Amino acid sequence: MTKLGDNRRTPPLNASLALLKKAEGAIPSQTQTFSKGWTQFPRGVSPVFAERADGGTIWDADGNAFIDWPMALGPLLLGHNHPAVTEAVTKRLKDGIAFSLPTTVELALAERLIDWFPYAERVRFGKNGSDATAGAVRAARAFTGRDRILCCGYHGWQDWFIGTTLRHAGVPQAVRDLTTPFAYNDLDALSNLLEQHSGQVAAIIMEPMGIIPPKPGYLEGVRALADKHGVVLIFDECWTGFRIHLQGAYGAFGVQPDLACFGKALGNGVPISVVLGRADIMDVFNDVFFSFTFGGDLLGITAAQTVLSLLETEPVLEHVSTIGQALMDGMSRQIAAHGLSGNIGLDGYAARHVMWFKGDGADGMLMKSVFQQEGIAGGVLAAGWHAPSFAHTMQDVERTLEAYDVAFATIADGLASGDLDGKLRGERVQPVFRKP
């Protein structure tokens, strides 16, 4: 076991902190994505701006290298700068990436996806997962003639969903009132909502699996309730798509949605999203306005074709599962060894798992901050969650566990002494979605 203090160092961060100061006068929140911003890492001891990345490694503005486990919030299933994707996208740049007409390339990908998913009969493309989920919701409303949406999980930044969260500034109350969240793995709660709003619900949109797997029969029950009430069932697979199974939740659980939304891993970091599903529902897009200049962007479409080919020919998911399970197993052993089983744990699966922290008097945020600080000191971009990729290696796992061993030792020492706050050299991290 690594001794406390072996890795206690703060990487040089002069460039990052200077850039953060400049960004305060140029970019609101100093980031384009809340979950990538400085509030999510202990400020003062963490990198803020990145310069480049390759494989499973990211370099910050100061030249520090870190093992990258968040992987740009999940899309990099193959790793940064995968040679085949880079080559395909580079070639596409030379042949043109935006045209005044639809392209044969987008038709080819649409047909491939229809073959890929047995329930898919039509396909439309977007750039972000929020494009796909918002488009699917609009299509469901147009198809059913109803307005209310029931949701479970995270579905992007658009008004119809974000209005249900505490990040609802700027969303009209009338819009907020039309979407109701429901609890996962609770069929009775969903059934009660459908009865309460009988004849008003256009769609059930849900992540078929977030971090917790579905109980036996749960997704089948959701499918049956949707059929009973004439509601469109939408699976938001921006996370699960191509990560839990090559056919996403359908492949893993055998339950067929009416519509499904994909993004993230499909482009391996090149922006693309997809909404696909039943022909009769998808055909409302003939009238529903789902149209933007870069909806058929050929960089994303080209990247997606390459990703699908690699998924067909390379043991991507097997490798990701092996790496992820080794990391989870090692962390679980360390947590137990340091006597922290009541304070720290892991939820999720090998390809995506999230840590939880409790018992520090600060909703776990102090403990999480110390953990991230020590992980970063050991050369790991520690975010408290992991999205393993095809590019990560067992050496990455070993190096990560070395850093995490110090982190857990530091937390255990702080809890034992009653001075965990004294272990934090930077500022405490903040949740993206704050509690009321």
CATH number assigned to the domain comprising residue 227: 3.40.640.10
Same-domain pairing of 324 and 388: yes
| Cβ within 8 Å of residue 91, ≥6 positions away | 302
Same-domain pairing of 251 and 369: no
Residue 160 is predicted with a pLDDT of 84
String of DSSP letters for 232-297: EEEEE-TTTBTTTBTTHHHHHH-PPPSEEEE-GGGGTTS--EEEEE-HHHHGGGGTS----TTTT-
Q: What is the C-alpha separation between 122 and 168, in angstroms, rounded? A: 32
Residue 296 is predicted with a pLDDT of 86
Is 347 within the bounds of a domain? Answer: yes
Same-domain pairing of 291 and 322: no
Relative orientation angle of helices 298-313 and 316-337, to the nearest 10 degrees: 80
Is 432 within the bounds of a domain? Answer: no
Report DSSP state, residue 342: T
Relative orientation angle of helices 104-116 and 298-313, to the nearest 10 degrees: 40
Give, for 16, the enclosing helix (H) or strand (E): helix 14-23
39: domain CATH number is 3.90.1150.10
Is 301 within the bounds of a domain? Answer: no
Is 416 within the bounds of a domain? Answer: yes
Same-domain pairing of 274 and 359: no
Residue 251 is predicted with a pLDDT of 97
- Other Cβ atoms less than 10 A from the Cβ of 227: the count is 11
Collapsed DSSP state (helix, strand, coil) of residue 310: helix
Give the structural domain span for 321.
14-80+316-423
Report DSSP state, residue 199: T
For the chain, how many structural domains are there in total?
2
Same-domain pairing of 402 and 273: no
Last residue of a domain, one of 296, 329, 350: 296
Same-domain pairing of 200 and 277: yes
Is 340 within the bounds of a domain? Answer: yes
Same-domain pairing of 29 and 121: no
Residue 47 is predicted with a pLDDT of 94
Same-domain pairing of 241 and 382: no
Q: Which amino acid is at 43?
A: R
Is 123 within the bounds of a domain? Answer: yes
CB-CB contact of 49 with 30 (8 Å): no
3-state helix, strand, coil in the chain (%, to 5): 45, 15, 40
Is 311 within the bounds of a domain? Answer: no
Residue 180 CA: distances (Å) to CA of 104, 131, 165, 305: 40, 20, 10, 36
Same-domain pairing of 19 and 166: no
Bridge-based pairing of strands 352-357 and 344-349 is antiparallel
Number of helices and strands (H, E) in the chain?
Answer: 14, 14
Is 261 within the bounds of a domain? Answer: yes
Residue 169 is predicted with a pLDDT of 87
Same-domain pairing of 62 and 186: no
Point out the residues of the chain with pLDDT beneath 70: 1-8, 434-436
Same-domain pairing of 173 and 290: yes
Give the CA-trace dihedral at 10, 14, 19, 25, to 10 degrees.
Answer: 100
Same-domain pairing of 65 and 112: no
Q: What is the C-alpha separation between 436 and 426, in angstroms, rounded? A: 25
